[in-house]
Amino acid sequence: MATHMERATSGDVRADYLDFAHTGPGTLAGQFMRRFWQPVHVAADLSPGHARPIRIMGQDYTLYRGESGEPHLVAFRCAHRGTQLSTGWVEGDCIRCFYHGWKYDGSGQCVEQPAEDAGFASKVKIGSYPVQEYLGLIFAYLGVREPQPFPRYPEFEGEGVMGVSSYVRPCNYFHNLENGLDNVHVLFVHRGAPGSESYLDLGVPRIAAEESDWGIKERVQRRDGSEQVIEGGMPNVLYIPGQGIGNRGTKVDFLAWRVPVDDESHLTFNVNIAHLTGEAAEQYRQRRTQQADNTAAVATELARAVLRGERRVGDFMDHPLLVNIQDTVAQLGQGVIADREHERLGRSDAAVILLRRIWSREMQALAEGRPLKQWTRTSAARARWALH
Amino acid sequence: MATHMERATSGDVRADYLDFAHTGPGTLAGQFMRRFWQPVHVAADLSPGHARPIRIMGQDYTLYRGESGEPHLVAFRCAHRGTQLSTGWVEGDCIRCFYHGWKYDGSGQCVEQPAEDAGFASKVKIGSYPVQEYLGLIFAYLGVREPQPFPRYPEFEGEGVMGVSSYVRPCNYFHNLENGLDNVHVLFVHRGAPGSESYLDLGVPRIAAEESDWGIKERVQRRDGSEQVIEGGMPNVLYIPGQGIGNRGTKVDFLAWRVPVDDESHLTFNVNIAHLTGEAAEQYRQRRTQQADNTAAVATELARAVLRGERRVGDFMDHPLLVNIQDTVAQLGQGVIADREHERLGRSDAAVILLRRIWSREMQALAEGRPLKQWTRTSAARARWALH
Amino acid sequence: MATHMERATSGDVRADYLDFAHTGPGTLAGQFMRRFWQPVHVAADLSPGHARPIRIMGQDYTLYRGESGEPHLVAFRCAHRGTQLSTGWVEGDCIRCFYHGWKYDGSGQCVEQPAEDAGFASKVKIGSYPVQEYLGLIFAYLGVREPQPFPRYPEFEGEGVMGVSSYVRPCNYFHNLENGLDNVHVLFVHRGAPGSESYLDLGVPRIAAEESDWGIKERVQRRDGSEQVIEGGMPNVLYIPGQGIGNRGTKVDFLAWRVPVDDESHLTFNVNIAHLTGEAAEQYRQRRTQQADNTAAVATELARAVLRGERRVGDFMDHPLLVNIQDTVAQLGQGVIADREHERLGRSDAAVILLRRIWSREMQALAEGRPLKQWTRTSAARARWALH
């Protein structure tokens, strides 16, 4: 039976509640996303004394780590003549502009202007944003309101082997967000990928999805009676407890955030933990090292060749980036921003449909000034421990 | 004497009848072009079991060849979640989507949905288009109406050595269409190219053009009294019987179609036949093999260097792609879409002027719902045989 | 004390007087700039018999040097079918179109059409523009009015070692124009560059600026009481008498013009002269040769890596292009077109503020049909000699 999400006939306003793709300033989805802490950088990739330009949801910022090791996030440009601040110098916990040496502290306050009279600096302040380092990522709160409490993931704080990585994919973030809750794709997209064979043997699963305190709880029911629970944490988190593709039997808990760079590309931040210690941890660590490396650009280029019709996915069955290439083909294959008006959704899309319903409901509440649901991960974590 | 095609003073509507360049859906020239069968791929470049994304007149399609060898042309995207179908798998004469395995037959009918209930598939159908394989090319009919009878070229069906090729040029197709009927360009653009010397010796020709049952019959009259007849078959075919540049004396009949990829680039499909048999055929075949290869990208890059002023055409007089480089310089040199409002046409442009008059007349008839001229190649073929 | 240039409250019209960035045809700044002779090419880079396509202020032209050695500037396209003329052949002091051989003389008059009847050519004329070769540059007057008298720079005509060069930078020309009058940037942007150390030792200077007969006279007052005078010649000339960065003590007079290619990139033409003769001249000449080469593309690519956050300026302290890389980082760091509405200008910006005031005043006069100030370099030159 086909279930198609209806668009209202009452015009453009309701239609906006289905526009999850555009998150620039002034968009409804962008306002919604800015109510949540978002990872913006892998912590290990920013050394003390270094600055980096970053773009999140179509807006540019300057991320830098003070010589103290503290991360700071301030406006992209110097207030004086608009030069990009990341090109300047980090001094203590301040950043000095490359062009005329204006210096700002982590709160955005200008504290020095070498060629100006005293008294001017105190009148100049640029934007700054709360940041927090957690699970190997730097998170930021980019909204205009008071930040919500910082969400924690207790089971990732315990003993074990952590993996932290990120990659860019040149399509809208919502493709990837939906893809994570779309378990059926594994049977086709990842056909032949290491680790996916076991799923294939179990045949096409049945998908059930329900709303939880944290977002969505998706039950993937196999023919042999086994069940996997995947969670979609609002607004853009994927949580797969227990096991994922390519982990060769080791129990690994996964978290992934899909964060828009702009409407046409997004970052994924992955954190995973294998609950191993001692010798087992060491062996696992060594195995993983060989898979590391930021090779998203390579996967993207090969996927593009497939999309141009010059190569086939089957050419890359032995490629170390096979899983990424496969996902990139599927997601870029939907276009840069997927057309969600001409789909034919079915019962296997239950989790995707629910995700959109919740987003749409919350965006409408936001637009109408009504209170939003306060998402909490408590019960989600409970559910996870119960399954183990 | 300068002959300048007049634009009406009555505003935009008539002006549209002079817009031959834009062929996307919804354009008048696009509607006109979609009344004709068009070549869309070289047959030999698509193996059984393979699929290819193609773009014709600004629209995307999935072209695939079933395991039976039969070519099929269907919509670009899967109806389900919009993934590009060419990335999937050809199974028998069907194509299966890469994302969730929906399967379509050559008529676009969905015949399988692995994760959905029975009964849904029969309700899903995507677009499909008639295709026909002929003279080493795959032709398609992309219009909304019943296809016209498939046009045949009897003299290309006989014994002889066939050549089939295609290339992309990053400018509007109408540049190349006009160029084929513009014989004077050979004296200047192809100065120094092998085979063009003989034309140069004959001096600047006089050009006469008349409308025929098939389109345009252009008479190129040399000073020595000899005459060459070139035909423009409506809407976008060039036919040069007898001999062309670079064929070293062998009688070769040429056909070329100029098919828009989009408004800013086009494909040329070339079919030629040398009416040779036995040993002579074999020798000719071997000579030609060395000229083969799809090197349009190289020619384009060298032409661009000329257009940037970094190189000169004279640098490439010994280059095997000289003729293509020369034509690319001339045609890209007019811009991506030529400005036809500020030209100064002369009597040597007779065939180009006639081509535009016919197109304009037919586009106006189409816009006003009047019957179009039914083009037929019968007399054209007759004329050709008469010349031999 | 912050001095912020006010925008009027009376709407868009006055705001236009602050739009210095856009110089395409039809813009006010473009009309203003077209009142002045502009360098458009390095003379030595155009050999007799060669043609080059050039783009200045968003408009395309054909620059060629006749076989006589005379430079000519005519329209970009042939009048006939619009092909880019630079791809054709220079014959004597004429240029022949590549497509159908139409020939034009340096005044733009069509003088030959090989395939047309006599009498047509005389009716066809394309645009042409006055050019003049001076100080190793080809200057052109691109305005519609009678050209102003050609400006001369007597002290660059004397004995000495001349250097002439140009480079492209992919940002608006006004960034670079302002940068030249912004002496404070040297202390920060050029930190560590050879020759800039001496300035750093003298500490942050005080900047004073006054309007002169030629444009702006900027006094850079050091703490040790020394003063450097830099001049901004209207509309887009920088003149630094005496000494510049990287000249190892040799007295060198500098001239630089910032000429828009289009709104998003510009050319700088540099002319400098070291007033040396004999052995000293020879030694200087040899030292400079090693610095030559058009390496702007390299500097731009390295600067872009800095702006993307992949490299730091500090990585290039020993790079021969350091000064160019530093300036490119600062100027591209302001964006492609700087936002001048949200700046916080200070007293050290005195010369930049004055530059904008003069431009704005002249643009308003131009818009209102009032006479413009007639700029003359006489007193400027006087001032310079007085300083020596």
Written in H, E and C, the secondary structure of C164-180 is EEEEEECCCHHHHHHHH
pLDDT band at A290 (very low <50, low <70, confident <90, very high): low
pLDDT digits (tens, 9 = 90+) for C108-159: 999 999 999 999 999 999 999 999 999 999 999 999 888 989 999 998 998 8
Contact A81/C at CB under 8 A: yes
- The nearest CA of chain B is from the CA of C300 a distance in Å of 19
From the list B204, B306, B307, the residue facing C114 with the nearest CB is B204
DSSP-derived letter for residue C213 is S
For residue A266, the distance in angstroms to the closest alpha carbon of chain B comes to 18
| Nearest-5° Cα angle at B192, B191 to B195 | 95
**What's the pLDDT at A287?**
77
Look at A122 and B192; give whichever has higher pLDDT: A122
- B77 interaction partners in chain A (CB closer than 8 Å): 339
- Nearest alpha-carbon partner for C258 in C190, C359, C344: C359
CB-CB under 8 Å, B185 with C99? yes
- Residues from chain A that touch C313, judged by Cβ atoms under 8 A, are 87, 98
Is residue A388 pLDDT above 60, yes or no?
no
Structure tokens given for A387: 């399954």
Alpha carbon of residue C140 to chain centroid: 12
Q: Which of C187, C333, C349 lies nearest to residue A87, judging by beta carbons?
A: C333
Cα→Cα distances B202→B196, B222, B228, B351, Å: 10, 6, 12, 20
Question: Helix %, strand %, coil % for chain B, to 5?
Answer: 30, 25, 45
Chain B residue nearest residue C80, CA to CA = B344
Give the residue among A134, A360, A166, A336 at the shortest CA–CA distance from A258: A166
B184 and C114 within 8 Å at the Cβ level: the answer is yes
CB-CB neighbours of B313 under 10 Å: 22
Per the prediction, chain A carries an average pLDDT of 90
**Are C53 and B345 a contacting pair at CB < 8 A?**
no
The pLDDT averaged over each successive group of 10 residues in chain B (388 residues) is 38 66 95 97 97 98 98 98 98 98 98 95 98 98 91 92 94 98 94 73 88 96 89 97 62 94 98 91 78 74 97 94 95 97 96 98 96 83 44
In this structure, the number of other CB atoms found within 10 A of the CB of residue A107 comes to: 13
d(CA C263, CA C261): 7
Residue A92, SS3? Answer: coil
| Higher-scoring residue by pLDDT: A321, A12 | A321
Residue A110 is predicted with a pLDDT of: 98
Spatial distance between the Cα atoms of C320 and A215, rounded to a whole number of angstroms? 56
Task: Decide if A101 touches C, using CB distance below 8 A.
Answer: yes
pLDDT score at A291? 52
Mean pLDDT, residues A261-272: 97
Residues of B in contact with A207 (CB under 8 A): 115
Task: State whether residue A116 sits within 8 Å of chain C by CB.
Answer: yes
Residue with tokens 């007087």: C17
Q: Given B1, B188, B312, which is nearest C100 (Cβ)?
A: B188
Closest residue to A86, CB basis, from C182, C309, C335 = C309
Mean of pLDDT values over A225-247: 84
Q: What are the pLDDT digits (tens) for B36-86?
A: 999 999 999 999 999 999 999 999 999 999 999 999 999 999 999 999 999
Instruction: For residue C350, give the H/E element and its range.
Output: helix C350-367
For A291, A318, B279, the CA distances from A247, given in Å and listed in that order, are 11, 16, 64
**pLDDT tens digits for chain C (388 residues)?**
333 444 433 344 344 789 999 999 999 999 999 999 999 999 999 999 999 999 999 999 999 999 999 999 999 999 999 999 999 999 999 999 999 999 999 999 999 999 999 999 999 999 999 999 999 999 999 998 889 899 999 989 988 999 999 999 999 999 999 999 999 999 999 998 876 666 667 789 999 999 999 999 999 998 888 898 999 999 999 999 886 544 556 788 999 999 999 999 999 999 999 989 999 899 888 877 555 455 789 999 999 999 999 999 999 999 989 999 999 999 999 999 999 999 999 999 999 999 999 999 999 999 999 999 999 987 545 444 444 3
Q: What is the pLDDT of residue C268?
A: 97
Q: What pTM did the predictor assign? A: 0.92
- State the DSSP string of A128-162: EE-EEEETTEEEE--SSSPPPPPP--GGGTSSSEE
Q: Which residues of A touch C189 (CB under 8 A)?
A: 98-99
Measured between beta carbons, the chain A residues lying within 8 angstroms of B54 are 309
The percent of residues above 70 in pLDDT, for chain A, comes to 88
